[in-house]
Amino acid sequence: MARRKAPRIPDALLDQLLAGADPKTAFDANGLLDDLKKALAERALNAEMDHHLASDEVGNSRNGYGRKTVTTETG
């Protein structure tokens, strides 16, 4: 019998994410999956900006935050 691969996201982390949420609505619009995509996108964009600002160029600085709309496959 084939062995199952270890999950990339540990079950304990999934349990934390689903705590207090209805797992049946995780894939609904504005459900857990949409919240996760938003959080990951924001983290990636902030990391990209931090990397850009860490360069040795003089004059680069973060001057507040602005709104940005990103469209995904699910809206």
Give CA–CA dist 42/64, Å, rounded: 15
The encoded tokens of residue 57 equal 């160029």
Cβ-proximal residues to 34 (8 Å cutoff; 6+ apart), any chain: 74, 75
Each residue's pLDDT tens digit, 40-56: 988 998 898 888 888 76
In this prediction the pTM is 0.65
Residues of the chain with pLDDT below 70 are: 1-2, 56-60, 74-75
